[in-house]
Amino acid sequence: MVDDLRVPIGDTFDLSTQEENDLDFLAEYHYCDTIQSRRFEDIPTPYFNEEELAECDAVVTATLVEPMADPVEARNLYVSKQVYIAKDRMEAIISGK
């Protein structure tokens, strides 16, 4: 999906060619989330056709909804986030930040 949306995302957000080429799935998700927000607020998205808008919707759905479809995977996702928060805090204490 990333390749299909590089150009309309680049045009919409005035990205350089290098920024378009460096686009990864997580960045694409953030841009697609912004596109959905614009559509919700009736802000025009002239660089996207209906198929590309559907792809943006699919990216956001895949990122936000599908990981929560399986209760065990969702639990593991949140548990891992809790572990990372504690790890980051311990590292900050140790490094004196």
Between CA 19 and CA 6 the distance in angstroms is 9
Between CA 59 and CA 77 the distance in angstroms is 18
**Confidence at residue 68, expressed as pLDDT on a 0 to 100 scale:** 65
* pLDDT tens, position by position, 6-29: 999 999 999 999 999 998 888 898
Between CA 23 and CA 19 the distance in angstroms is 6
- Can you say how many angstroms the Cα of residue 17 is from the centroid of all Cα atoms in its chain? 20
* pLDDT tens, position by position, 40-92: 899 988 888 999 999 999 988 888 777 666 776 666 666 666 677 788 888 88
Judge whether 11 and 47 are in contact, CB under 8 Å. Answer: yes
**Confidence at residue 60, expressed as pLDDT on a 0 to 100 scale:** 87
**Confidence at residue 10, expressed as pLDDT on a 0 to 100 scale:** 92
Tell me whether residue 32 is exposed, middle or buried, using C-beta atoms within 10 angstroms of its C-beta: 0 to 12, 13 to 18, 19 or more: buried
